[in-house]
Amino acid sequence: MTPNREDYLKLILELGGDQAKISNKQIVAGLGVSAASVSEMISKLEKEQLVKHTPYQGVQLTNAGAQKASDLMRRHRLWEVFLVEHLHYSWNDVHDDAEVLEHVTSDELANKLEAYLGFPEFCPHGGKIPAQSAIINEQKRQTLSDYPIGSKIKIARVLDEKELLDYLVSLNLNLQEVYTITAIADYEGPITIQNESKQIAVSFKAASTIFVDLVE
């Protein structure tokens, strides 16, 4: 499936692009597309004044872009909570259905769904659910690939991306788990993390889309 403009907006927001510049490389990793497709879409979004692009620095959402992405994210994440909590989907299987549902959800339906779910704060991937008309204010975090060997980290949020989630399921890596980084291979090789029950080698690409909190 080729990602559309809305997927780009949402990803840039998920990566913190409402407040800081996001590199094309992060977008390439997050959407699994070529660098050329990313550049092409960025210039389209810039023409629509949804993002601002600074050569060699990256891309940042405009207010209009952040609002549009937040509205979509709100609907998407509310449906994810519904699918996981009430229809027992697993966290790697909710994406496609939530993706379809977010586009056919009115403000009223989103509000009623939110109330029905008890005003959840986070989606099953650890992402924040914004209030109506609010712009998402995701907690700023570094990714697993940003920390040195010996760091003790907790998995706090992952990108809502099907291939990544399937990969994390295959590794049996879950939110809220705590690990110590025990090895980092050269040249963007895998990052090995370990706790009492597991040792996992996470690819560099995946590690750069897994947000973690440092544990004391």
**Is residue 193 classed as helix, strand or coil in its secondary structure?**
strand
CA distance 56 to 34: 17
Report the run of H or E that residue 156 belongs to, with start and end.
Answer: strand 152-158
Residues 6+ apart with CB under 8 A from 73: 10, 13, 14, 127, 129, 130, 136
- Shortest gap between Cβ of 194 and Zn ion (angstroms)? 27
User: How many residues bind to Zn ion according to rule CB under 5 A?
Assistant: 5
Residue among 73 and 184 whose Cβ is closer to Zn ion: 73
Residue among 102 and 160 whose Cβ is closer to Zn ion: 160
Match 């994390």 to its residue by tokens: 168
DSSP 180: E
Q: What are the backbone dihedrals phi and psi of residue 59, each rounded to the nearest 5 degrees, phi first?
A: -125, 140
- Shortest gap between Cβ of 91 and Zn ion (angstroms)? 8
Binding mask 77-96 for Zn ion (x = CB under 5 A): ---x----------------
Which residue among 9, 123, 144, 165 contacts Zn ion (CB under 5 A)? 123
- Chain residues 141-200 in contact with Zn ion, contact rule CB under 5 A: 160
Query: What's the farthest any 2 CA atoms get from each other in the chain?
Result: 51
Strand stretches in 83-140, DSSP E: none
Inter-axis angle of helices 63-86 and 107-116, nearest 10: 40
Binding mask 41-80 for Zn ion (x = CB under 5 A): ---------------------------------------x
Amino acid in position 183: A
- Shortest gap between Cβ of 98 and Zn ion (angstroms)? 7
Nearest residue to 123 (alpha-carbon basis) of 158, 80, 162: 80
- Shortest gap between Cβ of 48 and Zn ion (angstroms)? 25
- Shortest gap between Cβ of 104 and Zn ion (angstroms)? 18
Residue among 66 and 184 whose Cβ is closer to Zn ion: 66
- Shortest gap between Cβ of 159 and Zn ion (angstroms)? 9
Stretch that binds Zn ion, among 30-38, 117-125, 134-142, 176-184 (CB under 5 A): 117-125
Point out which residues bind Zn ion (CB under 5 A): 80, 123, 125, 127, 160
